[in-house]
């Protein structure tokens, strides 16, 4: 049974509690496919199961402790 990833609650750099907000995210495989098509190449298709695992939910947050902005993608374990 696969469950949705939980919203991150802590800075991955210093561990301070921070509030992450949902963030629009283009999965890396989509970016790479666009680059390949721009070069005139057709990327190989990914199985749907792989596409689902790689897409995930995306969050962004700014830490007041270490002043880092973090982008976290929650992937589902299969």
Taking 60 as the threshold, does the pLDDT of residue 34 lie above it?
yes
53: Cβ contacts below 8 Å, ≥ 6 apart: 75, 76, 78
Predicted confidence at residue 41, as pLDDT, reads 95
Range with lowest mean pLDDT among 26-30, 46-50, 66-70:
26-30
Predicted confidence at residue 55, as pLDDT, reads 74
Q: Which residues pair with 60 in a beta bridge?
A: 21, 71
Please provide the average confidence, as pLDDT, over all residues in the chain.
83
Q: Are 56 and 3 in contact (CB under 8 A)?
A: no
Residue 15: is it exposed, middle or buried by C-beta count within 10 angstroms (0-12/13-18/19+)? exposed
Minimal CA–CA distance to 53: which of 73, 72, 36, 31? 73
């Amino acid at each position: 049974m696969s469950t949705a990833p939980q919203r991150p609650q802590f800075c991955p750099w210093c561990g301070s509690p921070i509030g992450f907000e949902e963030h629009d995210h283009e999965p890396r495989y989509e970016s790479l496919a666009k680059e390949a098509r721009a070069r005139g190449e057709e990327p190989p298709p990914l199985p749907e199961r792989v596409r689902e695992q790689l897409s995930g939910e995306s969050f962004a947050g700014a830490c007041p402790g270490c002043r880092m902005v973090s982008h976290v993608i929650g992937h589902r374990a299969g």
